[in-house]
């Protein structure tokens, strides 16, 4: 007989089974959830690994690209530095060894100096980019006259463009302020770079500089427009990268460090502005540079127009002119006579130094290259003995490195040759007083300038003969000296073709390029033609 299981036992077993099933279901669910979480974690980890791997690959590619760019930059810098350095060391060693004759030493030294200046420019760019990368580059906020910077750019680039057969246009907003507050040195540096690039990459057509002022936004806008080779979108995307240019072929064809635009872009940001570019291949480029200004001054008048239309005898004061060239002496004298200013003239730096200490002058206008003692040496001595009156360099050497050197020596600024009347008058207005007592006829100016022009044309045959003598004897030192005088003088009397050719020949002569002699012979022939025209004009 089968023994009956008690109901209580069956109930306990049933309850235990249900609890076991419930526990198993709970554990299964926990296991499922943990497995699901583990799968999600695994997938997330795989995704993170993929993303990190992609980031590392991207970083590696960027590092490799940067490394290649820096390698290309260093290779280019090696070439840019070694080329002039080879000339400096080689010619210096030849002088030391006695290989260079006495007659050739002066020309050789000129070549050494020209190549050294090129090295100086490259080193300045490298130092600027180094300061930018370390966050140590600073800008100033000072009040200055905007007009002289614009006029300087016009006087520098117009002859360069003419020498290349290009037109240079300067278009200025009628509301341009007289003074602004920002960094004049950096503004000029950026514009020199932008316009210099436009000239470099343009073979035909024109370069335009447009200057506008927004009084409400307190912002200046400079547009540099060219009709040059242009750029693609890909090239534009690389344009402001350090250690690179838009295309490696550009470096090979045109040279350069590849740092200029990077520095310009960074500087524009420090000046509360920006640089933007629009370009298409074969259709030229437009660079727009904006700079924020803390304040504008005298925006109610067009200062450039008012300066140019100054009346006779409108200023009073005393000026010392230190200049060795008689035609330049006459030209500056006529401007000063027209304005009613007292002046004295000395023919070299030593006499100028002595006159400055002996007299009372409001401003000194000092030529750079003179016999006995040059202008730079005279200014160094004057500043060393405590002379604190303003001294301006009057010179045809107006490259950025020259201007930087003049200021370091002790010049307050510079006036370029050929002399721009508006700029010249604006400098005089800064240091001389207005004269409201004298009334004179403006016709006096015509008589003064006619006399200066007459003297210049009387001296041209002598310049031509000296030029041809230097060509016949292949004397580069003598050629360089006469070209230095002609390149400033011709522009003073609006003989722009002569001026442009003289500048081109002078730059070749500075580097010892023999093509300077052929260009100088062309210049002599052009002088002959100009003299014939002048004689016909006089007789007619």
Return per-residue pLDDT of the chain as tens, 540 residues.
Answer: 455 667 777 777 777 777 777 877 787 788 888 888 888 888 888 888 888 888 887 777 766 665 655 655 555 566 667 777 887 888 888 888 888 888 788 888 888 887 787 677 677 767 666 666 666 677 777 888 888 888 878 877 888 888 888 888 888 876 778 788 888 888 988 998 899 889 988 998 889 999 988 877 788 999 999 999 898 888 888 787 765 554 555 544 444 555 678 888 888 888 889 999 999 998 899 999 999 886 666 544 344 445 555 677 878 899 999 999 888 888 899 889 888 899 999 999 999 999 999 999 999 999 998 989 999 999 999 999 999 999 999 987 766 567 778 888 999 888 887 787 777 887 888 788 877 665 444 444 445 566 777 778 888 898 889 999 999 999 988 898 888 888 777 877 778 788 888 888 888 888 888 888 988 998 999 888 888 887 776 665
pLDDT at position 320 is: 96
Only one residue has tokens 């306990």, namely 12
pLDDT at position 33 is: 81
| CA 445/CA 311 separation, integer angstroms | 9
Only one residue has tokens 């200023």, namely 315
Distance of CA 18 to the CA centre of its chain: 91
145: part of which helix (H) or strand (E)? strand 142-145
pLDDT at position 298 is: 55
| CA 104/CA 109 separation, integer angstroms | 9
310-440 and 142-297 share a CATH fold: no
pLDDT at position 440 is: 47
pLDDT at position 436 is: 63
Choose among 329, 322, 328: nearest CA to 350.
322
Q: What is the pTM of this model?
A: 0.49
Count of other CB atoms within 10 angstroms of residue 427: 22
pLDDT at position 302 is: 43
Residues near 154 by beta carbon (within 8 Å), at least 6 away in sequence:
168, 170, 209, 420
Quick one: tokens of 467?
A: 């030029």
CB of 359 closer than 8 Å to CB of 344: yes
Topology (CATH) of 310-440? Rossmann fold (3.40.50)
For residue 167, list its beta bridge partners.
206
Superfamily of domain 444-539: HPT domain (1.20.120.160)
CB of 110 closer than 8 Å to CB of 510: yes
Q: What separation, in Å, do the N-terminal and C-terminal C-alpha atoms of the chain show?
A: 160
Q: Is the peptide bond before 418 cis (omega within 30 degrees of 0)?
A: yes
What dotted CATH number matches 142-297?
A: 3.30.565.10
Topology (CATH) of 42-138? Helix Hairpins (1.10.287)
171: part of which helix (H) or strand (E)? strand 167-172
Domain boundaries, the chain: 42-138, 142-297, 310-440, 444-539
Residues near 360 by beta carbon (within 8 Å), at least 6 away in sequence:
318
**What backbone torsions phi and psi does residue 192 show, to the nearest 5 degrees?**
-60, -40
């Amino acid at each position: 007989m089968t023994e009956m299981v008690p109901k209580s036992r069956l109930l306990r077993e049933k309850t235990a089974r249900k609890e076991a099933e419930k526990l198993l279901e709970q554990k299964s669910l926990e296991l499922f959830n943990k497995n699901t979480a583990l799968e999600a974690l695994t997938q997330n980890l795989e995704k993170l690994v993929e993303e990190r791997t992609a980031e590392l690959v991207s970083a590696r590619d960027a590092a490799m690209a940067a490394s290649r760019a820096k390698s290309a930059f260093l290779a280019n810098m090696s070439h840019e530095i070694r080329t002039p350095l080879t000339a400096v060391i080689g010619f210096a060693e030849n002088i030391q060894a006695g290989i260079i004759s006495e007659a050739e030493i002066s020309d050789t030294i000129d070549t050494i100096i020209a190549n050294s200046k090129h090295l100086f420019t490259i080193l300045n760019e490298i130092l600027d980019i180094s300061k930018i990368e370390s966050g140590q580059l600073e800008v100033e906020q000072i009040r200055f006259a905007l007009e002289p910077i614009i006029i300087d750019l016009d006087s520098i680039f117009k002859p360069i463009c003419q020498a290349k057969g290009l037109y240079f246009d300067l278009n200025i907003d009628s509301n341009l302020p007289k003074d602004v507050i920002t960094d004049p040195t950096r503004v000029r540096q950026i514009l020199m770079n932008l316009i210099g690039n436009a000239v470099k990459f343009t073979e035909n057509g024109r370069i335009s500089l447009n200057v506008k002022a927004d009084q409400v936004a307190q912002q200046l806008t400079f547009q540099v427009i060219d009709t040059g080779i242009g750029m693609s979108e890909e090239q534009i995307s690389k344009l402001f990268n350090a250690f690179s240019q838009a295309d490696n072929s550009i470096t090979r064809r045109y040279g350069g460090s590849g740092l200029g635009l990077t520095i310009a872009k960074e500087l524009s940001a420090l000046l509360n502005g920006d640089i933007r570019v629009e370009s298409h291949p074969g259709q030229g480029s437009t660079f727009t540079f904006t700079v924020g200004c803390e304040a504008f001054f005298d925006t109610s008048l067009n200062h450039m127009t008012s300066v140019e239309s100054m009346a006779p005898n409108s200023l009073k004061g005393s000026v010392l002119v230190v200049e060795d060239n008689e035609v330049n002496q006459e030209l500056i004298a006529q401007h000063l006579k027209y304005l009613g200013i007292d002046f004295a003239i000395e023919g070299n730096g030593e006499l100028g130094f002595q006159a400055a200490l002996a007299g009372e002058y409001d401003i000194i206008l000092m030529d750079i290259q003179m016999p006995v003692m040059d202008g730079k040496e005279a200014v160094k001595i004057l500043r060393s003995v405590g002379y604190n009156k303003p001294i301006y360099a009057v010179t045809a050497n107006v490259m950025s490195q020259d201007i930087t050197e003049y200021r370091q020596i002790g010049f307050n600024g510079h006036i370029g040759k050929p002399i721009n009347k508006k700029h010249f008058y604006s400098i005089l207005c800064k240091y001389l007083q207005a004269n409201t007592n004298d009334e004179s006829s403006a016709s006096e100016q015509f008589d003064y300038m006619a006399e200066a022009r007459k003297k210049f044309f009387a001296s041209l045959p002598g310049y031509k003969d000296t030029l041809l003598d230097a060509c016949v004897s292949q004397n580069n030192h003598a050629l360089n000296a006469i070209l230095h005088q002609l390149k400033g003088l011709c522009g003073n009397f609006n003989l722009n073709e002569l001026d442009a050719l003289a500048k081109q020949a002078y730059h070749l002569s500075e580097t010892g390029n023999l093509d300077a002699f052929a260009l100088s012979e062309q210049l002599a022939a052009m002088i002959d033609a100009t003299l014939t025209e002048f004689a016909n004009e006089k007789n007619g």
